[in-house]
């Protein structure tokens, strides 16, 4: 009998747990450790953040689903990883700390035969003074944060209806942020709601982003096929901004957020301030606070994790100039190089390098969008690792691992630009591969036949259908395994 422990119940961890449970007999135990009672379909937090959905529309309780499937649930966070076991325990184990209200703070030692680290990110609001819902800006990173943003937006709309002119800022709250696509999506839903309320003429709306140019999205931009032509994503994005009357400031590192004012530095090294009435600024991510120890209790976190606390996997982490990185340097099995029964997926794994070229201001400030690893890629990674573990349990530890490199993986992104039966629209983009491969695709880095983009009402309906499909899948309802990641 094998016990597989999955740390985290986001898209990647939840996907891994569902597949493990479906593929393995009940003599094997699947345990999910998550600090949250509820599963959150994060892509739809955008709609919660403008009041188009409620938190209950994008979340559900995990316990009933896992009880029905036979997955053990621990509402807790992992605080220590002991992959070699200890003097009194031969197996590897994790120390978890309860986050359940009735047992909060209690610790438990949980042994495993296989471990999947899918802990996701720590929302590092502290990286920028004044950033975050507990300080001077808003967020849509959780359904609760998004509900706060919606309430603030509703208040601002009422103020504009009374005749005030307001400034709205959305974007990234640090030079090293990821998820620029979420900021892009949010700002156009915000603009749509303001226009729908009839007060668009009283709103100045500004995108503040660490991207060197619009349409970078942390993937070094895209060369999109449209109507037989190749269009840079910069042109695709800028045309939408101009059409909707949204301003943009690129190459920005937010230095601090004061009440109703944001200070930032741009790539030319100059400092600026921007007054606002509403600011939704996404935080940078780090890995969670999980430490690793060897059998003797010596801290080996530096061997297992990178300095920003993401887990090392089968990537090439050797230091080299950006232009010398290759697509083959990206991981494909997500297996720890030090411990063969430990894997990391989704945001929990450490990318070997940025996809977008890292830049630096004359003052030495790094402005470099971090690689996105959410949504569709996270689900694919979770499935891949789950299938690898299943094969190793069935056929032994020498069974070949399944592979899914982001340099050999495509992705589809549907970015909402407003909701409604007839007025809703979305930008739909696909790319292959996610990590550009300039050896296979000289000049473009991606296959032009599989990298394209369109905007229109069809995209909105695809986005809405995907919302329902993925909630159905996540709840493990009838035929859930037929829905692809």
Tell me: pLDDT of 5 over 90: yes
pLDDT confidence of residue 2 = 97
Residue whose tokens read 């901004």: 241
Total length of the chain: 485
In 3D, which of 345, 285, 309 has the Cα closest to residue 14? 345
Average pLDDT over residues 246-267: 98
C-alpha dist (Å) from residue 325 to 18, 217, 425, 439:
35, 19, 37, 11
d(CA 102, CA 55): 24
Work out whether strand 278-282 and strand 166-172 pair parallel, antiparallel, or are unpaired: parallel
Tokens of 401: 């691992």
Cα gap 440→117, rounded to integer Å:
32
pLDDT digits (tens, 9 = 90+) for 107-166: 999 999 999 999 999 999 999 999 999 999 999 999 999 999 999 999 999 999 999 999
The dihedrals phi and psi of 481, each to the nearest 5 degrees, come to -70, -10
What was the pLDDT predicted at 457?
Answer: 83
Q: Where are the domains of the chain?
A: 3-123+285-395
Q: How far is CA 174 from CA 67, 152, 182, 286, 304, in A?
A: 40, 22, 15, 12, 26
* pLDDT over 70 at 451, yes or no: yes
Query: What CA–CA distance (Å, rounded) separates 162 from 158?
Result: 6
Cα-trace Rg, the chain? 22
Angle at 130 between CA 125 and CA 135, to 5 degrees: 85
Tell the residue number behind the tokens 């621990």, with chain if given.
Answer: 74
pLDDT bin (cut points 50, 70, 90) of residue 455 is: confident
Mean pLDDT of 242-255: 97
In whole angstroms, what is the distance from residue 146 CA to residue 40 CA?
12
Mean pLDDT of 400-416: 91
Q: Do residues 453 and 237 lie in contact, with contact meaning Cβ atoms separated by under 8 Å? A: no
Q: Which residue from 107, 110, 141 is spatially nearest to 374, judged by alpha carbons?
A: 141
452 Cβ neighbours under 8 A, 6+ residues apart? 224, 225, 226, 429, 430
Intra-chain end-to-end CA distance of the chain, in Å: 29
96-110, 223-237, 322-336, 382-396: which range is least confident on average? 223-237
Burial label, 307 (beta-carbon count in 10 A; 0-12, 13-18, 19+): exposed
Residue 94, beta-bridge partner list: 81, 110
Residue 429: pLDDT over 90? no
Q: Are 401 and 388 in contact (CB under 8 A)?
A: yes
Q: Is the pLDDT of residue 323 over 70?
A: yes
Per-residue model confidence (pLDDT) at position 398 = 93
Task: Give the pLDDT confidence score for residue 234 in this predicted structure.
Answer: 93
Question: Does the pLDDT of residue 459 top 80, yes or no?
Answer: no
pLDDT at 458 over 80: no
CA nearest 341: which of 395, 387, 389? 389
Residue 223 is predicted with a pLDDT of 87
In angstroms, rounded to a whole number, what is the distance separating the alpha carbons of residues 344 and 292? 14
Confidence of residue 428 (pLDDT cuts 50, 70, 90): confident
From the list 346, 328, 321, 350, the residue with the least C-alpha distance to 337 is 350
| HSE value, Cβ hemisphere, 13 Å, CA-based, for 255 | 14
The predicted-structure confidence for 45-74, as pLDDT tens digits, reads as follows 999 999 999 999 999 999 999 999 999 999
Q: Which helix (H) or strand (E) holds 354?
A: none
The CA-based angle 303-306-307, given to 5 degrees, is 110
Summary count for the chain: helices (H), strands (E): 10, 26
**Domain 3-123+285-395 is in which class?**
alpha beta
């Amino acid at each position: 009998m094998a016990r597989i422990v999955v740390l985290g119940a986001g898209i990647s961890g939840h996907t891994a747990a569902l597949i493990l449970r479906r593929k393995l007999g009940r003599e094997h135990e699947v345990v999910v450790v998550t600090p949250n009672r509820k599963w959150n379909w994060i892509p739809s937090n955008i709609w919660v953040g403008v009041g188009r959905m409620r938190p209950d529309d994008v979340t559900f309780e995990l316990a009933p689903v896992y009880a029905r499937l036979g997955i053990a649930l621990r509402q807790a966070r992992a605080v220590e990883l002991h992959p070699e076991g200890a003097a009194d325990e031969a197996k590897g184990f994790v120390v978890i700390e309860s986050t359940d209200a009735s047992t909060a703070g209690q610790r438990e030692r949980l042994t495993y035969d296989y471990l999947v680290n899918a802990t996701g990110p720590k929302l590092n609001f502290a990286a920028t003074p004044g950033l975050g819902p507990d300080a001077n800006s808003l967020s849509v990173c959780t359904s609760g944060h998004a509900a706060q943003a919606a309430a603030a937006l509703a208040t601002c709309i009422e103020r504009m209806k009374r005749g005030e002119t307001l400034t709205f800022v959305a974007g990234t709250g640090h030079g090293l942020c990821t998820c620029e696509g979420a900021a892009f999506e949010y700002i156009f839903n915000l603009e749509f709601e303001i226009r729908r309320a009839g007060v668009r003429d009283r709103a100045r709306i500004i995108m503040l982003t660490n991207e060197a140019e619009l349409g970078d999205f942390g993937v070094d931009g895209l060369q999109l096929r449209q109507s037989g032509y190749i269009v840079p994503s910069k042109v695709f994005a800028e045309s939408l901004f101009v059409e909707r009357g949204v301003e943009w400031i690129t190459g920005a590192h937010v230095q601090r957020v004061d009440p109703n004012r944001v200070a930032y530095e741009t790539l030319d090294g100059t400092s600026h301030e921007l007054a606002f009435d509403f600011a939704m600024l996404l935080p940078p991510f780090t890995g969670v606070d999980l430490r690793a120890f060897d059998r003797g209790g010596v801290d080996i976190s530096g061997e297992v994790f990178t300095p920003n606390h993401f887990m090392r996997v089968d990537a090439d982490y050797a230091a080299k100039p950006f232009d010398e990185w290759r697509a083959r340097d990206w991981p494909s099995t997500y297996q720890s190089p030090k411990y063969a029964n430990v894997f990391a997926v989704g945001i929990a794994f450490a990318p070997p390098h940025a996809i977008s070229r890292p830049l630096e201001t004359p003052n030495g400030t790094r402005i470099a969008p971090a690689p996105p690893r959410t949504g569709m890629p996270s689900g694919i990674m979770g499935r891949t690792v789950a299938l690898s573990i299943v094969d190793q349990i069935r056929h032994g530890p020498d069974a070949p691992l399944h592979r899914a490199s982001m340099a050999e993986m495509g992705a589809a992104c549907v970015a909402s630009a407003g909701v409604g039966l007839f007025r809703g629209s979305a930008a739909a983009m696909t790319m292959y591969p996610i990590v550009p491969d300039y050896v296979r695709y000289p000049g473009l880095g991606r296959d032009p036949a599989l990298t394209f983009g369109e905007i229109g009402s069809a995209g909105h309906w695809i986005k809405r259908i995907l919302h329902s499909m993925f909630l159905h899948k996540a709840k493990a309802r009838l035929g859930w395994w037929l829905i692809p990641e």
